[in-house]
Copies of this chain bind each other. A is one copy, B any other.
Amino acid sequence: MTPNSPKIPYGGDYNPEQWPQEVWDEDHRLFARAGIDTLTVGVFSWSLTQPAEDIHDFGVLDRTLDRAAAEGRRVCLATGTAAVPPWLARTYPEVNRTDFEGRRHRHGQRHNFCPSSPAYRRLATVLAGRLAERYAQHPALLAWHINNEYGGACYCELCAEAFRGWLRARHGTLDALNDAWWTTFWSHRYTDWDQIEPPSALTEHWRGPDHTAFQGITLDHRRFMTDALLGCFTAEKEAVRAHDPDTPVTTNLMGAYRPLDYHRWAPHLDFVSWDNYPPLDAPPTRPALAHDLMRGLKDGAPFWLMEQTPSATACRDVNPLRRPGELRLATFQAIAHGADAALYFQLRASRGACEKYHGAVIGHAGRDDTRVFREVAALGAELSDLGAITLGARTPARTALLFDWDSWWALEISDGPSRLVRYTDVVHRYYRAAREAGADVDVVPVTADLTPYDIVLAPVLHLVKGDLAERLEALARRGGTVLATFLTARSDVHDRAFLTDVPGPLAPLLGIRVDEWDARPQDVVQPVRFAESTAEARLVFEIVQPRGAEPVATYGADFYAGTPAVTRHRFGAGEGWYVATDLDRSGVDLVVRRVLARHGLIGPYAAHPAVETATRVTPDGTSLLFLLNHAPEPVRLTAHAAATDLLTGKRAERGEPLVLDPLGVAVLRPRPGSGDPGVSE
């Protein structure tokens, strides 16, 4: 249920309330020059729309939306509840959060509300309802944007009480809870719900949120806080729905954001939107992974790119500038991965406060002759030309990567074997290997339907829950390939170790047994010998005893030299692969390409490391192949099929040269009879 639009909505966050009327006129003039048609409005407007508890004032919003409508623009309207106004924080001190250190905050910053505070919930919901009542029928309204970038956590007494209620609902009895958390360890057996304290620096934690005495309570608290914030979202959404049954509702997520399990949120969003701020020195597969994770939230449905910077961020220690062409490339990358909108933070730079140096389409001097404005405008024109063709298109991936917040949390709060293993680093290395080999990848929850896939990657999937093991076995039985790694399948939904050989319920599928594992500092390198070459491994070295599996690679040093580091197990018509150590990129590439090759999923341009490919299939069945050149040099390809580039109109026959400019993009539509451009021959 993505908002209806005749083309990719293009625009971004717009804060006219910060400026006098004459600036508004200039804004719309510049929007027109830049092809901007969509404005995200009101994100931090609470102190204006409700200057006192008993006063609502929608004057600025009225003028903003009316003007937008008059100019033919659409509005993504925020409820504005992500930063409480000063009067509210002062009147209801309990609205301010209590932090992990136990300190009650006072008014300041943003994202500063306690999710369990009745005052906040009441006032935010009333405001959302009033907005919906007022603007549901407004011609400019395109979508609802609840709150903003939900995140963080609160540890106040109200949240503690809500946590206890959540635990009762989850565990039913204290006996069940004591068993789940293994409280007999360290004399923690609870005899009353009131004895349970939220896990914080004052209770179960030391050295910050990742060091806990009881993984069970910390996992449950993260789930609870996910749900508590989600409760704020759904309350506002219900208030909107009471007045507006149709307009799609979203909130902007943050990609691979650890604190919130977005898989719990996904069913409640009408469509997914997210803010893409990759570290600008990250490889392009980092934002690609995030895009695919976001697309995976709602079963492959397109999403909105709600924010990106047109030039630079401000919040980092060092804020590099996007080089010429990078913005366009990043925007087409988003579209290639499923984005059906391209929005910026921000349209006009704030004059003061902490984001005044954040990139904007319109800078402080208000010029339209800056490099950045020119690039934004050129991209606006391209998107206008592109029209509706990509809207609603979906990705025909045959490879799934299991992404699991529970496993992320459990891995990183684990005492032992190694604090140095970071979930998304390992996940990214497997994702990157598949993507650079030309495979489309769905990044999906462990509950996803796996029947569409040939391959399932399960890197460091620490927890195995529900019937996942059975479903993976079923996939392998029918010919598919499952790949798991070290520290996969170590514990159950409560992070209790399986009382069987490692890797627990996946052991039959993988055909191995692991009794012990070594962990070493970053500077200890273990050679891993494949038939073809030798890769390097680090951090964790599991010692594998094959129980049906055959070795694919072996350790080259230490007392376990010669034992398997990578194994393959024939299972039914398929295979179970296990990588027992933290292989470097070359090793992971080698393993993943072998798995992809088994299923014919190596892409036609896999030999060009800087060229990213991605396929989207439009609602009418047209398969579009996006080619993205991430190198600052041109790249010369040989067309694998006859196709037309939608951006240039150029045609290429199979076998003809196909040149991508530095940071260049092509969107290839195959010509009839030329075969699927997304699949290798």
Q: Which residues of B contact A84 (CB under 8 A)?
A: 187
Q: How large is the interface on A (under 10, 10 to 19, 20 to 34, 35 or more residues)?
A: 35 or more
Considering the complex, which residues of chain A in the window 157-197 have a beta carbon less than 8 Å from any beta carbon of chain B? 181-192, 194-197
Which residue of chain B is the closest to A514 with respect to CB atoms? B365
Instruction: Tell which of B48, B109, B420, B495 touches A184, judged by Cβ atoms closer than 8 Å.
Output: B48
Instruction: Tell which of B103, B106, B358, B495 touches A101, judged by Cβ atoms closer than 8 Å.
Output: B103
Instruction: Tell which of B51, B349, B497 touches A349, judged by Cβ atoms closer than 8 Å.
Output: B497
Which residue of chain B is the closest to A372 with respect to CB atoms? B516
A356, CB-defined interface residue at 8 Å: yes
A644, CB-defined interface residue at 8 Å: no
Which residue of chain B is the closest to A558 with respect to CB atoms? B323
CB distance from A98 to the nearest CB of B (A): 10
User: Given A106-B202, A416-B313, is A216 in contact with B353 using a C-beta cutoff of 8 Å?
Assistant: yes
A414, CB-defined interface residue at 8 Å: yes
Instruction: Tell which of B315, B365, B516 touches A500, judged by Cβ atoms closer than 8 Å.
Output: B365
CB distance from A542 to the nearest CB of B (A): 10
Instruction: Tell which of B109, B318, B351, B418 touches A521, judged by Cβ atoms closer than 8 Å.
Output: B318
| B498 close to A192 (CB less than 8 A) | no
| B353 close to A185 (CB less than 8 A) | yes
Q: Which residues of B contact A353 (CB under 8 A)?
A: 181-183, 185-186, 213-216
Which residue of chain B is the closest to A206 with respect to CB atoms? B109
Instruction: Tell which of B48, B52, B109, B418 touches A317, judged by Cβ atoms closer than 8 Å.
Output: B418
User: Given A108-B202, A321-B518, A415-B315, is A364 in contact with B87 using a C-beta cutoff of 8 Å?
Assistant: no
| B314 close to A415 (CB less than 8 A) | yes
Q: A411-434 vs B: 1/0 string, CB under 8 Å?
A: 000111111100000000000000
| B497 close to A358 (CB less than 8 A) | no
| B212 close to A498 (CB less than 8 A) | no
| B515 close to A190 (CB less than 8 A) | no
| B417 close to A213 (CB less than 8 A) | no
CB distance from A409 to the nearest CB of B (A): 14
Considering the complex, which residues of chain A in the window 293-347 have a beta carbon less than 8 Å from any beta carbon of chain B? 311-321, 323-324
CA distance A515 to B324 in the complex (A): 14
| A415 close to B355 (CB less than 8 A) | yes
| B44 close to A186 (CB less than 8 A) | yes
| A203 close to B496 (CB less than 8 A) | no
A571, CB-defined interface residue at 8 Å: no
Q: Which residues of B contact A291 (CB under 8 A)?
A: none
Q: A97-120 vs B: 1/0 string, CB under 8 Å?
A: 000011111111110000000000
A2, CB-defined interface residue at 8 Å: no
User: Given A187-B85, A318-B521, is A215 in contact with B352 using a C-beta cutoff of 8 Å?
Assistant: yes
CA distance A259 to B105 in the complex (A): 24
A17, CB-defined interface residue at 8 Å: yes
| A516 close to B371 (CB less than 8 A) | yes
Q: Which residues of B contact A186 (CB under 8 A)?
A: 44, 83, 109-110, 353
A15, CB-defined interface residue at 8 Å: yes
A138, CB-defined interface residue at 8 Å: no
Q: Which residues of B contact A47 (CB under 8 A)?
A: 183-184, 187-189, 191
A222, CB-defined interface residue at 8 Å: no
Which residue of chain B is the closest to A216 with respect to CB atoms? B352
CB distance from A124 to the nearest CB of B (A): 12
| A185 close to B44 (CB less than 8 A) | yes
Q: Which residues of B contact A206 (CB under 8 A)?
A: 109
A282, CB-defined interface residue at 8 Å: no
Q: Which residues of B contact A498 (CB under 8 A)?
A: 364
Q: Which residues of B contact A364 (CB under 8 A)?
A: 497-500, 502
| A350 close to B500 (CB less than 8 A) | no
| B213 close to A354 (CB less than 8 A) | yes
| A105 close to B202 (CB less than 8 A) | yes
User: Given A318-B418, A323-B559, A420-B318, is A215 in contact with B354 using a C-beta cutoff of 8 Å?
Assistant: yes
A451, CB-defined interface residue at 8 Å: no
User: Given A184-B48, A521-B318, is A107 in contact with B355 using a C-beta cutoff of 8 Å?
Assistant: no
| A191 close to B418 (CB less than 8 A) | no
- Can you pick out 6 interface pairs between chain A and chain B where the beta carbons lie within 8 Å of each other? A44-B186, A86-B195, A103-B201, A318-B419, A321-B517, A352-B496
Task: Kindly list the 3 A-B residue pairs having the minimum CB-CB distance in the complex, ordered from nearest.
Answer: A182-B352, A357-B416, A108-B203
- Residues on A lying within 8 angstroms of B by beta carbon are 15, 17-18, 44-48, 51-52, 80, 83-87, 89-90, 101-110, 181-192, 194-197, 199, 201-206, 212-216, 311-321, 323-324, 349-358, 363-367, 370-372, 414-420, 491, 494-502, 515-521, 539, 558-559
Supply 20 further A-B pairs (C-beta < 8 A) apart from A83-B186, A108-B213, A318-B417.
A15-B184, A15-B185, A18-B184, A47-B189, A48-B187, A51-B189, A85-B189, A90-B195, A105-B202, A107-B195, A108-B205, A109-B203, A109-B206, A215-B356, A314-B416, A317-B419, A318-B418, A364-B497, A364-B499, A370-B515
